[in-house]
Amino acid sequence: MAYDKEINVTGKACPMPLITLAREVRTLEKGQTVQITGNDPIFEESIVEFCREGCHEILETTREGRTISMAIKV
């Protein structure tokens, strides 16, 4: 799948992944997609809550070891 934005926050601790995602989401139009990849222990939980609060749709979540990638539709 091709994404309108791809963000890699691997190695960054929360809240930096959320701050980065929020900043990038503001640049996207409704219906566009973003993929964010990170490995912070609370990364997935934080992104799920961000999407719930912002009414964004999580399209896909993949895991490779401790690294999680999440595709989100704005």
Q: Please tell me the distance from the alpha carbon of residue 27 to that of residue 20, in angstroms, as a whole number.
A: 11
pLDDT at 1 over 90: no
Q: Residue 32: name the closest of 60, 2, 12 by CA.
A: 2
Per residue in 3-32, pLDDT tens? 999 999 999 998 999 999 999 999 999 999
| Mean predicted lDDT score pLDDT of the chain | 96
pLDDT at 51 over 90: yes
If residue 49 lies in a helix (H) or strand (E), which one and from where to where?
helix 43-54
pTM, entire model: 0.93
Give the chain's domain count.
1
Three-state secondary structure call for residue 52: helix
For residue 25, the domain's CATH number is 3.30.110.40
Domain enclosing residue 49, as ranges = 5-73
